[in-house]
Amino acid sequence: MGLPFRHSICNEVYQGWDFDKACRHIRETGYQGIEIAPFTLSEDPVTIPAAERKQYSDIIAGEGLLFVGLHWLMVAPKGLHVTTPDADLRARSWAHIRGLVDLCADMGPNGVMVFGSPLQRGTVGGSTREEATKRYADGLAEVAPHAEERGVRILVEALPANQTNVVGSLAEAVEIVRQVNSPAIQTMFDTHNAVDETEPHQDVIERFFPYIQHVHVNETDGGHCGTGDYDFAPVLATLRRLNYQGWISLEAFDFSPGPERISAESLRYLNSVIEDLESA
């Protein structure tokens, strides 16, 4: 019973836990993969030494998990910005993204990098939305060959207007993907961040499915799955019908229930939705 979805969880839920203990609990709970926020590993993630990268990779594999990829790409180090008119800061910021491509590749094969980071891509310094969006697309085009070489996919994440004014819909994200025209630059879908979409989420997924390489699940208030009123059934049914082969990755923003409850309750709820779809 159940759909052929692979489930993963974002590791910042396990704040304060040792990495190996978190990986063990994730696998014991029933997840197959772990998605990592780089700031949880280091205050400057691109400087993590090769030996330490291998250690993380070995722990993941040793606990029976797969490495899914990275998200929250620009939390650390502080002060970076990829669309600023300050050319020097912009160059340093894109060098950070290039370094994260290497980190992602070193942690495991076929990794994705979910490029949200609203505060580090929105308009600043008097830039217009169009200018900032062009700088964002140009930067992605510059790092795309390196991502292709390392086998990493950078995913443009659409974010709502209350977070950023650069790339606010999946249609805008796909336009950038088409413009860059690289297999290393794709997009993803996030149930929490799709609140500004004007069509039902299942219709948005259907329209842009060829570009969707990853899915984040959570409630629209940031809670974990099953604690709110988001209807996951149409989204999961559409992904099933279209034979989605990527990850279904839990990204919760409210950590107060604790990682044990967040991880177990979310997976149990999603599996119950899947079972209902199968039996319908």
pLDDT confidence of residue 41: 98
Kind and range of the H or E run holding 24 = helix 19-29
Amino acid at the residue 74: M
pTM higher than 0.95, yes or no? yes
pLDDT confidence of residue 239: 97
pLDDT confidence of residue 55: 98
Say if residues 213 and 174 touch (Cβ distance below 8 Å).
Answer: no
**DSSP structure string for 87-152:** HHHHHHHHHHHHHHHHHHHHH-TT-EEEE--GGGTS--TT--HHHHHHHHHHHHHHHHHHHHHHT-
Q: Return the C-alpha torsion angle 117, 119, 123, 126, nearest 10.
A: -150
Amino acid at the residue 221: D
Measured over the CA atoms of residue 90, residue 166, residue 110 and residue 44, the dihedral's sign is positive
Say if residues 186 and 115 touch (Cβ distance below 8 Å).
Answer: no
pLDDT confidence of residue 57: 98
The Cα–Cα gap between 269 and 4 comes to 16
pLDDT confidence of residue 3: 52
Q: How far is CA 194 from CA 86, 94, 126, 200, 273, in A?
A: 30, 26, 27, 10, 20
The Cα–Cα gap between 278 and 280 comes to 6
One digit per residue, the tens of pLDDT, for the chain of length 280 reads 445 699 999 999 999 999 999 999 999 999 999 999 999 999 999 999 999 999 999 999 999 999 999 999 999 999 999 999 999 999 999 999 999 999 999 999 999 999 999 999 999 999 999 999 999 999 999 999 999 999 999 999 999 999 999 999 999 999 999 999 999 999 999 999 999 999 999 999 999 999 999 999 999 999 999 999 999 999 999 999 999 999 999 999 999 999 999 999 999 999 999 999 988 7
